[in-house]
Amino acid sequence: MTKLRLAIVGAGPAGIYAADILLKTERSFDVSIDLFEQLPAPYGLVRYGVAPDHPRIKGVINALRDVLDRGDIRIFGNVRFGEDITLADLKKHYNAVIFATGAIRDTKLDIPGIDAEGSFGAADFVSWFDGHPDVPREWTLDAESVAVLGNGNVALDVARILAKHAEDLLPTEISDNVHAGLEASKVTDVHVFGRRGPAQVKFTPLELRELGELRDVDTVVYDEDFDYDEASLAAIASNKQVKVIDRVLQQWRTRDSVNNAGGSASRRLHLHFWAKPVEIRTDAEGKVAAIVYERTEPDGSGGLRSTGELREIAIGQLYRAVGYFGSPLQDVPFDKRHGVIPNHEGQVLAKDSNQRVPGVYATGWIKRGPVGLIGHTKSDAMETVQHLVNDQGAWWQPEDPSEAAIPALLESRGVKWTDLEGWHRLDQHEVALGAPHERARVKVVPRDEMVRISRGE
């Protein structure tokens, strides 16, 4: 029987689903899969990109854990592609590779003042509050009024964490340094800005509802934003998700806090629609001091047009949640404009010639960009895997496909990799840290400590 030795780079949902689909469906040849992950722990953005107060994500993690715990996929954590292992190494030891490295950088926003001190990418803030080992431990929240740019789920996650009281996050897996940072927060007002109207938002009803359930936080909406055009009314009538979002927002319009009139909470979360940021103004020291935005309006066909009316709100910090962007990988084609690996249905293409690159595949956000939910990731992986199987004649012919080769290679380079047993150790350690305080877990943040616990050192 033909043997397929496959490397997958990235142990988030995209990589794990690709491995699972291949192992469950392929019967015409013997499959052996090694999963490489740059972090000491698996699960990617499910562990490091989703706010800790989203318990529904535990269901996703449980599904991913079930796949890994079957024991038919080897995992090498704390291994950086391009540093600890290269494309040349993979060609020497595997028949093919699937890149599932995701998108973890912030998309750039080109407006005056956007790079001022106090302006942050949402990805960096999310990484901090999720206990990512490769970002600074401290985050100063010394401004009373802050702005969040964007109308997707990440924007609402950021806004919710900024507005929420730190003690209400204690039942979650939030790390101690993050709790301390949020407890010291001076934030009282969070302003969320979206260029389009309430019927064109990109977040989900569940994310929106969560904003209205925050203790001691008033959610503020503005009547002027709800003058719907025909396209918006049609979207509400035809799309169940948009209809639910509209129903929630309409309920909020009846509250005392609407238009910032009344409301007794100590914190407020303002939703500004039809608001296009055009400039970030700074103080004499070059720090964020105000956001200038232009009022937009419906163009009659579901889009927007400018009105020329400018408004200004004083802020002390800014968080940009306008999308994630992929990162280039050594010796792998990369589309700088779209932040993805150029590909046809997961088959990687040479950047200039659009010719197939034999043996190299992509799946997940590095393949299609940062769009879609977990369900999209599964169907995405299925498409890539199908091409991989059909391309058998174009696979690499590895020099040394033995399973002993990779541990020996990493050992020779002094790489302290972590394996599945090591992840179980770290997992159990974090759960044990949380148990005395009736918390789900307490995340271990420093990378060296994660590695030490995982390796039982």
DSSP string across 151-209: SSHHHHHHHHHHHS-GGGGTTTT--HHHHHHHHT----EEEEE-SS-GGG--S-HHHHH
pLDDT of the residue at 260? 56
The tokens for 292 are: 């200038």
CA-CA distance, 376 to 362, in Å (whole number)?
14
Question: Residues near 32 by Cβ (< 8 Å), separated by ≥ 6?
Answer: 3, 4, 5, 6, 403
- pLDDT tens digits, one per residue of 366-395: 999 887 667 678 889 999 999 999 999 899
Question: Residues near 66 by Cβ (< 8 Å), separated by ≥ 6?
Answer: none
Question: Residues near 454 by Cβ (< 8 Å), separated by ≥ 6?
Answer: 40, 41, 77, 78, 418, 419, 422, 423, 425, 426
Highest mean pLDDT among 164-178, 225-239, 269-283: 269-283
Over its C-alpha atoms, the chain yields an Rg (Å, rounded) of 24
Q: Which residue has the tokens 């503005």?
A: 222
- pLDDT tens digits, one per residue of 80-100: 999 999 999 999 999 999 999
**Residue 441 banded pLDDT, cuts 50, 70, 90:** confident
pLDDT of the residue at 43? 92
pLDDT of the residue at 46? 86
The tokens for 16 are: 């794990």
Question: Residues near 49 by Cβ (< 8 Å), separated by ≥ 6?
Answer: 104, 123, 126, 127, 130
- pLDDT tens digits, one per residue of 171-188: 888 888 999 999 999 999
- pLDDT tens digits, one per residue of 304-343: 899 999 999 999 999 999 888 899 999 999 999 899 999 9
The tokens for 105 are: 């950088």
Q: Is the pLDDT of residue 257 over 60?
A: no
Of residues 28, 30, 27, 7, the one with CA closest to residue 19? 7
**For residues 103 and 239, which has the higher predicted lDDT (pLDDT)?**
239
pLDDT of the residue at 262? 56
Phi then psi dihedrals of residue 35, to 5 deg: -105, 125
Largest alpha-carbon pair distance within the chain?
73
* The Cα angle at residue 322 between residues 320 and 328, in degrees rounded to 5: 100
**Residue 223 banded pLDDT, cuts 50, 70, 90:** very high
Average the pLDDT over 407-413 and give the result.
Answer: 98
The tokens for 75 are: 């995992």
**Residue 53 banded pLDDT, cuts 50, 70, 90:** confident
pLDDT of the residue at 26? 74
pLDDT of the residue at 140? 95
pLDDT of the residue at 258? 57
pLDDT of the residue at 301? 75
Start-to-end C-alpha separation, the chain: 40
CA-CA distance, 414 to 418, in Å (whole number)?
13
Q: Which residues pair with 98 in a beta bridge?
A: 8, 361
38: alpha, beta or left, given left = phi > 0 and alpha = psi -120 to 50?
alpha
Q: Is the pLDDT of residue 263 over 80?
A: no
CA-CA distance, 118 to 417, in Å (whole number)?
36
Q: Which residues pair with 35 in a beta bridge?
A: 8, 75
Average pLDDT, the chain: 92
Percentage above 70 pLDDT, the chain: 96
pLDDT of the residue at 259? 60
- pLDDT tens digits, one per residue of 126-140: 999 999 999 889 999
Q: Record the pTM.
A: 0.91
Q: Is the pLDDT of residue 455 over 70?
A: yes
Q: Is the pLDDT of residue 55 over 70?
A: no
DSSP state, residue 351: T
CA-CA distance, 287 to 289, in Å (whole number)?
6
Average the pLDDT over 129-157 and give the result.
Answer: 94
pLDDT of the residue at 432? 95
CB 151 within 8 A of CB 249: no
Percentage above 90 pLDDT, the chain: 75
pLDDT of the residue at 349? 96
pLDDT of the residue at 331? 95
Q: Is the pLDDT of residue 415 over 90?
A: yes
Q: Is the pLDDT of residue 302 over 90?
A: no
Instruction: Write down all domains in the chain, each with its CATH number in brackets.
Output: 3-104+326-417 (3.40.50.720), 105-320 (3.50.50.60)
pLDDT of the residue at 439? 85
